[in-house]
Structure 1
């Protein structure tokens, strides 16, 4: 149930309305890795989704014949296994969809499960660990086939000879400010962070305010642009490491009693495609930890 408290003061959007009231700029895929975000990008609608029928068919019905790449993120009250998922953000090239877990409930999130677990839908996200934990323990969704831009950034730094400490990870705001990828230093989330500190239930309020809608959209609207920038620069080895680390990130906080037997198989080590996952985990430990 949505909170009965009023949302932060600003224009509101009724999620029962099938049309959209808000639009945002969505950077298009660059024609070259050095191309930067322009000030005036295509304007696309932001849809608040309360029913599965409002989502694209290619997302609801993943297919090897229509593979897609989307930006992805989650908003919640305490994003973890014991929290409450509130919104799933999906960025497509022509629109942004805010999947309202409060209004749509478990039925709506279950409709998203095939895509979130599918190999045919690539989910571009910045730091997927807690998102995956929330999806797994709250809805039984095993997040799969992610491209984590936090991991990709570290790999690109390594390619360029930069060494970062194991716990030195770039934030999304920091990534957006990097001129090699977006160069947008004005994407500031501090106002929303302050509101979240003051009221942890911020994302539960309905109807969604204009501030909530644009803040949620901002977390995904640059991800496809960054994805194309990064993929053009990553070496074959880095692409493999990106896939492996992404799969391990998804499992990071989803510890269970069956050694992840119900999860998709880990990306194989080149030349060792027939090893079972128990041996693979040990080899990955040697590769990434030792």
Structure 2
């Protein structure tokens, strides 16, 4: 975290307007945003702290902005999302998205910034994000350690009647902290929505001596079917060599592997379901 931040009214308790301008000219004070100054260059956290000084005291970070700070920011967002009680007027500042909430929440201090509780943040995103992105948020929330499944189940019950709560109610029981990336969660959801058995995330394959040898993104252990998402990193030469060695070992040891890419995930999910259904049958 950077240095000290002051609102201009706080500075004027001991400095005149002229003196403030002089310090700014000498770079002894830095203008972070209108009405807020710092004593040294600011990092991202300081810029958010400066923004919060311009907002009503009830404001707290929510949605993607809070998720990022809790460690489950799998959805990209360049704007700052804040939550306010429904009775507080909406501030109008560039780059700010205001969410009025009818549900009360106690702010949690996360690295010096007020955030909605982690469970509230995760369930709000699960209600409002598109379905294919909502489960990755819930999986990542559990994986980060910020929240547990019991907390998510309790939180979603408080959202009765709110927009998107049906989606959140369906997805929260599926949340699992084992997937290591957004695409693994999305693959799992596509298969579940395709009415196939839920695959096991991060499935370890052992050799004949019982020693863990390889870990698969997803799989069906009893059927010896493995499912992998191939991202851009798999195109690197060294990774390709490791992949080929791994594929050969799995094949020799009776595993039938199925591989999918971003094209399958986002353009032809029905192909994924049909491929795995055929493998299972």
TM-score of the pair, normalised by structure 1: 0.24
> Which structure has more RCO (C-alpha within 8 Å, separation ≥ 6)?
1
TM-score of the pair, normalised by structure 2: 0.24
Q: Which structure has more helix as a fraction of its residues? A: 2
